[in-house]
Amino acid sequence: MNVKRKANSNPKSQRSSLASACSKINKMRFFLQTLAAVAAAATTVLAVPMETREVQFPDPNDDPFYRTPDNIGTYTNGQIIQSRAVKTDIGFLNGAASYQLLYRTTNTSMEPEATVATVWIPAKPASPPKIFSFQVHEDSTQLDCAPSYNFLSGYGGPNEIPTSTDTPYYITWALLQGYYVVSPDHEGPNSAFVGGYQEGRATLDGVRALRNFENLPSDSAVGLYGYSGGAHASAWAASLAESYAPDINVVAAAYGGLPASLRDLITPLRTGPFSGLVIAGLSGVALAYPEVDAFLQSQFNDKGREVFKQVRSRGACLAQVAVRYAFTDFYTFFSHSSFEFFKEPLTNKVLATESLLQSQANHVVPVPKFPRYIWHAHEDEIVKFSVAEQYVKEQCAKGANINWNVYPLFGHITVQTLGPIPALYWMGQAMNGQAPQVECGKSFTPIAGVNSPTAEQVLGPDLARKFARLNGTEAPFGLRFGPMTLPAA
């Protein structure tokens, strides 16, 4: 159905040793807090009985709306196959209408496929029209973890953390600016987590689908936004925009916590508390590249085959996989102890294909011409700061326009809420063609109220007050995300 609407005596050495010790303590505390948070989330999600949900639509695995039609090859990229009105909790401040669109896109193998996007239509659209494309950090390899399903009101979906914690504030901000909003299921129907080409193309085609749905002008300004796994999709969309979607007028991209290199994501996390993300990532890459999946399956022992089956099963989303497979080394999945994942020709080739670092890639990494705002935690325990810094340096060396923001002392989840306020402020400027001129790659640390706007100035008092609760007594799972502002020096 188509719905149209719209120890040392040296004091300096002692200080250095103390700083190093404090850093290690802070990292361990972050590890424990994060695991506690996702454990609580997993427990909460799994405890929701099916009968208490306001059932509007079935699970995507059973919902005909999500199915790719047999004649998918006859559709063009971004063409809408089906659409329907849906109820979400986002947009409540200005009465935005929300819809799901099934549209054609192209996967990693350049084959046509269909995926879903959730779109919000502002009550008072900006003139001329502007589009805000928000990429959720789904970080899972199961279709019921897709954002479109977990945005639905009253469902208690298995992957609600990424869609209901801080995401509503950013999308609501965009709607209050009068922007049309699209949030694609960028991993596609096979849930190919961290498949860059898959995610980038699905994101760009989601913009096309929204344009088609609302009959928006082809030159409508588009801004891309995401954090962590959402940054991965946004960065790949930014990279592919000129070659894959030259008809889309991308004027800005803002993303933080970017995993620019899968190789450098896997190595440090392989045996630690975030090893579940590595396993989900490997499963996702294998789903993007069937030849990799077949190869890994041929090398797996029974444990490896069973774990891959579990992380692809219903309800196995970000929190559940992170908790269940913490401190699980994927090298124990292989039949032969001598197996070297990084030395295998096939996996090496795919890791090079899926890298945004020119120093690792087996292709020319594009340099977008439009301005970008990138932020990262210096003490990021999940996505190494040095990798993001290298990405920015390589891009700047080739003429990029990047506003580079670094948050010292903080980790990945803290900066998830520290970074958006100045990023959204910058996005608003860039969408109006007023992105500040900066020296590409020169490090800057935003301090709200000092050299950067406050949450109240960007979100407005009501939305800022709600956003601040992420750091107070009403924070998710009782754990603080971190300060909304950095302390003044």
328 belongs to a structural domain? no
Q: Give residue 119's domain range.
A: 50-262+353-478
Average pLDDT over residues 198-222: 99
Specify the higher pLDDT residue, 291 or 46: 291
Q: How confident is the model at residue 1 (pLDDT cuts 50, 70, 90)?
A: low
Residue-wise pLDDT for 154-180, tens only, equals: 888 899 989 998 999 999 999 999 999
Task: Give the whole-angstrom CA distance, residue 383 versus residue 264.
Answer: 8
| Catalytic site positions | 228, 380, 412
Amino acid 89: pLDDT: 84
H-helix segments, 300-418: 302-311, 318-324, 345-353, 385-397, 412-418
Specify the higher pLDDT residue, 285 or 460: 285
251 belongs to a structural domain? yes
The widest CA-to-CA distance across the chain, in whole angstroms, is: 76
Specify the higher pLDDT residue, 40 or 2: 2
Split into its structural domains, the chain has a count of 1
CA distances from 131 to 180, 187, 239 (A): 5, 20, 18
* Structure tokens given for 342: 């990084």
Beta pairing partners, 83? 101
Residue 224 CB partners (closer than 8 Å, separation 6+): 133, 135, 203, 234, 237, 238, 250, 252, 253, 254, 255
Given a cut of 90, whether residue 182 has pLDDT beyond it is yes
133 belongs to a structural domain? yes
Prediction pTM value:
0.88
457 belongs to a structural domain? yes
- Of 454, 458, 403, nearest in space to 255 by CA: 403
70 belongs to a structural domain? yes
Query: What CATH number is given to the structural domain containing 123?
Result: 3.40.50.1820
Task: Give the whole-angstrom CA distance, residue 334 versus residue 301.
Answer: 5
The single-letter code of the amino acid at 222 is V
Task: Give the whole-angstrom CA distance, residue 69 versus residue 206.
Answer: 17
485 belongs to a structural domain? no
Is residue 241 a contact partner of residue 253, using CB atoms and an 8 Å limit? no
Q: What is the mean pLDDT of the chain?
A: 88
Task: Give the whole-angstrom CA distance, residue 130 versus residue 177.
Answer: 9
389 belongs to a structural domain? yes
Given a cut of 80, whether residue 332 has pLDDT beyond it is yes
Given a cut of 90, whether residue 248 has pLDDT beyond it is yes
Residue 246 CB partners (closer than 8 Å, separation 6+): none
The single-letter code of the amino acid at 388 is A
Residue-wise pLDDT for 141-157, tens only, equals: 999 999 999 999 988 88
Given a cut of 70, whether residue 3 has pLDDT beyond it is no
Residue-wise pLDDT for 65-122, tens only, equals: 999 999 999 999 999 999 999 999 886 666 899 999 999 999 999 999 999 999 999 9
212 belongs to a structural domain? yes
Amino acid 156: pLDDT: 82
